[in-house]
Structure 1
Amino acid sequence: VGGWYEHFLTFLLKRYCDDYYGVSEACCEWSGHFHIKSKGTLYNAVEIKEFQRILKEPDIDYRKEYGIPSGAKVISFTGRLIPEKGIKQLVSAVKKINISRTKKGQAPVYLMIAGDGILYQELIEMSDPYIILTGQVDFEHIVKILDASDIFCLPSDSEGFPTSVLEAVACKCFVITTYQGGAKELLVDEQYGIIMRDNTVESIQKNLEKVIEDDAYRTQAECKSYDRLVKYFTWDATAEKVMQIAKDMNGEKE
């Protein structure tokens, strides 16, 4: 029924629209399923000045609020708590990492989960002292959670162009996500972050362990992805592209 509805709605849209743009190259490719040939991309984006404003405010400190030691590594997830987001695999991977680190005499890592959904109660039951669920929080608190984090992990089965990845990069988090949707257009290779081919517990654990102790690599990747975000994935950049498209179309009509 969902597939039929998508095709029917697209059929109606195609009667009234001649030019299509996707929020990512992956979206443009997906649109081909509906026999739509996109003319280009208008990227999903963030308002970078708003992040800068919130990050300067000292009133919220999530590490202090939850008693997280200053040197501890923090992994975060923000979004809906549904099976498609791979959140249960992420929790299991972090728990396995901490078992391994305890055996080696290393400090545990923390996982902060912000959001709500059908898995919330199950995740509460899976949690331990190093798995922190904040529940649903507003945008400013999301920014502060990301600011307190070293790594953002979104191990989804399916995505478009996740705003949560853009938000994490805007807060200079190292990002690990899956090869779904448009995130790979921001994190173009491992100099920018990690794109996993799958979201198994083993894959998540391996990639998290790869970067947890590599501060130099994480910092370098954070800077490169942030610079790319500012150049291509802000609303100013997208608005400028929209204006250029409008000018080109007006020129064609003249």
Structure 2
Amino acid sequence: MRALIAAPFYPPHPGGIERHSAGVAAELRRRGWEVDVVHCVTEGEAAGRALGPNGERLLALESRLVGGRLPFPRRTERNAAVIDEIRETSYDFVLIQSHLFVSNLVVARAVGSAPRIWLNHGSAHVATGHPVVDRCVAAYEHVLAGRLRRVVPTVAGVSTEAAAWVSHMRVDAGSSVGNAVARVSPPRRGRREGPLRVVSVGRLEPAKGALEAVRVVDGLPASAEVELTVCGGGSIAARVAREARASRRRIVTTGPVPHEEVQARLVDADVLLLLSDSEGFPTVLLEAGAAGCAVITHPVGGTAEVLRDGGGWRVADVQAAAARLGELAARPQLATEAGEVLRRTVESTYTWPPVVDRLLRLAGVRGEAAAPSCTASARS
């Protein structure tokens, strides 16, 4: 059996879609599938063909980056050869990760009639912070969605919210498949002494919550012992760093860091502060839970189902987030207890075998049953 995954980028490039793609690839490889991943590389990145960490074959499309986020494939002989090879290869399953990228539309047209599914990862249009540009981006998304809908018959969302949102582009996505993590830490043995340790992880872009996290922590009463670490890079990184330096509190900005460092910081943190305006199903939510870290989040995609049994708090605005942080600073044990609830939820529910089963089933691929999972928990 052979699968093709079309993604905008691929790890070590950071991002939720990238880690979702790598998780699906790893699970398919565990089942004995051959897996190709077609992804974009931009200036300064190696474009040669290579193997991923689980033996998946990486097919790179040379691209230019527009607006700091959207890769557009170049017209090169190398790219033409990659698309020709995809066109000539017989695939048993094709996963198109989002409508947002021209490269994914090109791939969807190249695979012909192979069993395929378009997975939507968003629950709002991409925000730039500029109203006119935002309207242009929304129009661009509608055009790509309309064209992708003609060549990919089956559409699903990574969460219930992502499946519902795509309907406004006249796309029917009646199912959600979920997100997952590969490893879950053992239970924590208490917490390290000191202030409440809060972390914000993600792209430093408008509406993604990093600037709001800095302002929430900076505005807490002097009596609240809280420190914040902001991990990530993006177009507003300089602004985030400037406000962090001006704060009277200990607020550290790390810039982009390897995924392993993000995981280590989550293991040490008490709370993940996720104040993004929209998400499909944030991978960092599950990664925090896997590390035993509680979550304060806006009610974005995926959070209702993950936090149904506890493990964190969904807050309507930054004022509610600040109030909750103040309470946790006074009683950090509440965060420790919530983190363990979330850890158990992730360990029992959010692993890759059932996610991949749902994807294959929706695409009409038979014989999708997973082998027994050996990655539900990593014990040290």
TM-score tier after normalising by the smaller chain length: 0.7 to 0.9
From 213, 217, 225, the counterpart of 2:334? 217
Higher-strand-fraction structure: 2
Higher relative contact order (CA 8 A, sep 6+): 1
CA contact under 8 A between 1:19 and 1:39: conserved in structure 2? no
From 84, 91, 105, the counterpart of 2:207? 84
In structure 2, what is the equivalent of residue 59 of structure 1?
none
Q: 1:88 and 1:242 mapped to 2: Cα distance?
A: 35
> What residue identity is the alignment partner of 1:18?
P
Q: 1:186 and 1:209 mapped to 2: Cα distance?
A: 23
In structure 2, what is the equivalent of residue 206 of structure 1?
323
- Provide the aligned C-alpha RMSD in A: 2.7
In structure 2, what is the equivalent of residue 174 of structure 1?
294
> How do 1:4-43 and structure 2 match up within 5 A?
4-43=139-178
Q: 1:174 and 1:139 mapped to 2: Cα distance?
A: 19
> What residue identity is the alignment partner of 1:78?
V
Displacement of 1:149 in angstroms is 0.5
> How do 1:1-254 and structure 2 match up within 5 A?
1-48=136-183, 52=185, 70-101=193-224, 108-127=225-244, 128=247, 130-188=250-308, 191-198=310-317, 200=318, 202-245=319-362, 250=366
Deviates more, 1:22-31 or 1:152-161: 152-161
Q: 1:98 to 1:146 in 2, by over 3 A?
A: farther
Q: 1:215 and 1:109 mapped to 2: Cα distance?
A: 10
Q: 1:31 to 1:234 in 2, by over 3 A?
A: same
CA contact under 8 A between 1:232 and 1:238: conserved in structure 2? no
Q: 1:2 to 1:118 in 2, by over 3 A?
A: closer
Displacement of 1:206 in angstroms is 0.7
Q: 2:280 and 2:241 mapped to 1: Cα distance?
A: 28
Give the gaps of 5 or more residues in structure 1: 56-68, 102-107
| Overall identity of the aligned pairs, in % | 29
TM-score by length of 1: 0.79
Displacement of 1:124 in angstroms is 2.5
Q: 2:239 and 2:139 mapped to 1: Cα distance?
A: 33
TM-score by length of 2: 0.54
Q: 1:187 and 1:111 mapped to 2: Cα distance?
A: 23
